[in-house]
Amino acid sequence: MKLTPAGILISVEVRRKGVLTVENWADIRRLRRGEGMPIKVIARAIGCSKNTVKAALRSDGPPEYARPARGSVVDEVEPRIRELLRAWPTMPATVVAERIGWEYSIRTLRDRVSDLRPVYLPPDPASRTTYRPGELAQCDFWFPEVQIPVGFGQVRTPKRLPVLVMVCGYSRWRTARLLPSREAGDLFAGWWSLLEELGGVPKTLVWDGEGAIGRWRRGTSELTGDCQAFRGTLGAKVQICKSADPEAKGMIERGNGYLETSFLPGRRFESPEDFNTQLAGLPKAYARRMRVLGCSPRDRVEADRVAMLALPPVAPVVGWRRSRRLPRDYYVRVDSNDYSVHPTAVGRRIEILTDLNWVQVLCEGTVVADHARAATALRHDRFAVLPAPSVTEVEQRELSDYDTVFGLGNALAEEVV
């Protein structure tokens, strides 16, 4: 450091190295503008020419050291690389190296190919999509990383916990429900419940190739028969996204991310019903302002509903509906669970009606079974030994009741006499 005539310490690194450092540049500007020191005095104090001082005062930024560019071994073959990329823009760098007979480091060639490739690739624009009220909603499944008790000592793993999520495009209003399974009967029943909760039907419903919905094939959406019947009742369009096209359903991906990071942490669930009860509290978070909307979802959802299609006057047929003969053990199986039926229907034709909450069995129009639907148990756990519940959850029927039903009570009494 050096003491100037004004008693100010400045760096003399420029005197040693012959270059103007950022520190010297800052001192020059300070001495001139802050202290009003003449240029000649500044040049003498810093140890540089007056032209250097004048250049430092004219510059808008500090001096920067730039190393002069040197040539690279890849410069000689760049025309050949451009020729190959012009014909095949996606050609890997390893193939380019083989075609041009590259003998040096593949990393050097790969860097140059990466710099040149975007020039020959077709444009891939990305922009923020806006939606009109009632125009569209995106749907998908979310699999929460939790285990939920389902009774009788069993729990369900994340792969067996499908949560159907639907997000409206205009308002970003989100609805969700935990379903017993991803099968068509449960999916459409859950989908209908979300639409009823929303109070309207978006004109276009977007899905991502779910098996019960349909798939993208031969350049168009190919829907299943069940989905065609469901959307026909709604009067809406169902669109299947192309594979490997995440931008087509970015809203639902962000919605699932919110559930993963903001809804799930710190919560405990006692049952599937408790999970759905806590999901029902999601609208409390919709009063927050969203930057993309410029307002909160709650401020837009009413306009979204008004522009949607009205719910159909007759609800679509959803859930499971099957017909079969009741076997001798008077049990019917629904989604890996067995439900008891009144023994009077043994051997007779029965109809099994199932929704998200109940399993009902009819025999000639008479209800012979009515059970709350149990959560799906894993098939490989079917024969596992489970601890006995502390409280009996299923009614225990007396054996004499079956004797009475089949008319065996009097006969047994006579034999005893």
Q: Which pLDDT score, from 0 to 100, does residue 6 have? A: 46
Q: Domain range holding 9?
A: 2-58
Mean pLDDT of all residues belonging to the chain: 80
Residue 165: band (very low, low, confident or very high) from pLDDT cuts 50, 70, 90: very high
Asked if residue 168 and residue 110 are part of one domain, the reply reads: no
| CATH number of the domain where residue 228 is located | 3.30.420.10
Q: Which pLDDT score, from 0 to 100, does residue 346 have? A: 85
Asked if residue 303 and residue 184 are part of one domain, the reply reads: yes
Q: Contacts for 114-123 with beta carbons within 8 Å, 24 or more apart?
A: 116/78, 116/81, 116/82, 116/85, 117/85, 117/89, 117/90, 119/85, 120/82, 120/85, 120/86, 120/89, 121/89, 121/90, 122/89
Residue 247: band (very low, low, confident or very high) from pLDDT cuts 50, 70, 90: low
Q: Is the pLDDT of residue 48 over 60?
A: yes
Let me know how many helices (H) and strands (E) the chain has, helices first: 14, 17
SS3 at position 325: strand
Q: Which pLDDT score, from 0 to 100, does residue 129 have? A: 75
- Count of residues in the chain: 417
Asked if residue 207 and residue 265 are part of one domain, the reply reads: yes
Residue 405: band (very low, low, confident or very high) from pLDDT cuts 50, 70, 90: low
Asked if residue 376 and residue 237 are part of one domain, the reply reads: no
Residue 272 domain-assigned?
yes
Q: By percentage, how much of the chain surpasses pLDDT 90?
A: 19
Q: Which pLDDT score, from 0 to 100, does residue 376 have? A: 45
Contacts of 4 (CB under 8 A, 6+ apart): 10, 31, 37, 41, 45
Residue 130 domain-assigned?
no
Q: Is the pLDDT of residue 410 over 80?
A: no
Residue 314 domain-assigned?
no
pLDDT tens string 139-154:
999 888 888 876 666 6
Q: Which pLDDT score, from 0 to 100, does residue 114 have? A: 92
Burial of 382 (0-12, 13-18, 19+ CB in 10 A): exposed
Burial of 248 (0-12, 13-18, 19+ CB in 10 A): middle
101-105, 189-193, 249-253: range with lowest mean pLDDT: 249-253
CA distances from 65 to 52, 187, 390 (A): 16, 64, 79
Q: Which pLDDT score, from 0 to 100, does residue 378 have? A: 36
Asked if residue 397 and residue 277 are part of one domain, the reply reads: no
* Cβ 116 vs Cβ 90: under 8 Å: no
- Mean of the pLDDT values across residues 235-256? 81
* H-helix or E-strand spanning residue 363: strand 358-363
- Domain final position from 307, 336, 353: 307
Residue 74 domain-assigned?
no
Of 107 and 395, more confident: 107
Of 330 and 90, more confident: 90
Q: Which pLDDT score, from 0 to 100, does residue 160 have? A: 74
- Domain final position from 307, 328, 343: 307
Which segment, 29-43, 84-98, 117-131, 311-325, is predicted with the most confidence on average?
84-98
Q: Which pLDDT score, from 0 to 100, does residue 401 have? A: 66
Asked if residue 292 and residue 196 are part of one domain, the reply reads: yes
Asked if residue 326 and residue 230 are part of one domain, the reply reads: no
- Domain final position from 68, 95, 120: 120
Asked if residue 284 and residue 164 are part of one domain, the reply reads: yes
Q: Which pLDDT score, from 0 to 100, does residue 359 have? A: 85
Asked if residue 286 and residue 171 are part of one domain, the reply reads: yes
Asked if residue 179 and residue 113 are part of one domain, the reply reads: no
pLDDT tens string 298-307:
899 999 999 9
Residue 158 domain-assigned?
yes
Dist CA 323 CA 118 (whole Å):
60
Asked if residue 248 and residue 223 are part of one domain, the reply reads: yes
Q: Which pLDDT score, from 0 to 100, does residue 15 have? A: 45
Q: Is the pLDDT of residue 78 over 90?
A: yes
Q: Alpha carbon 370 to chain centroid distance?
A: 37
155-164, 240-249, 275-284, 375-384: range with lowest mean pLDDT: 375-384
Residue 230 domain-assigned?
yes
Q: Which residues of 263-285 are buried (b: 16+ CB within 10 A; e: fewer)?
A: beeeeebeebeebbeebeebeee
**pTM for this model (two decimals):** 0.58
- Which of 111, 118, 71 is closest to 93 using CA atoms? 111
Q: Which pLDDT score, from 0 to 100, does residue 351 have? A: 86
Q: Which pLDDT score, from 0 to 100, does residue 126 have? A: 61
Q: Which pLDDT score, from 0 to 100, does residue 407 have? A: 66
Residue 373 domain-assigned?
yes
SS3 at position 88: coil
Residue 89: band (very low, low, confident or very high) from pLDDT cuts 50, 70, 90: very high
Number of domains in the chain: 4
Q: Which pLDDT score, from 0 to 100, does residue 417 have? A: 44
* H-helix or E-strand spanning residue 111: helix 106-120
- Which of 196, 198, 188 is closest to 134 using CA atoms? 198
Q: Which pLDDT score, from 0 to 100, does residue 319 have? A: 76
Residue 417 domain-assigned?
no
Asked if residue 222 and residue 334 are part of one domain, the reply reads: no
pLDDT tens string 177-232:
988 888 888 899 999 999 999 999 999 999 988 888 988 877 777 888 889 988 89
Residue 409: band (very low, low, confident or very high) from pLDDT cuts 50, 70, 90: low
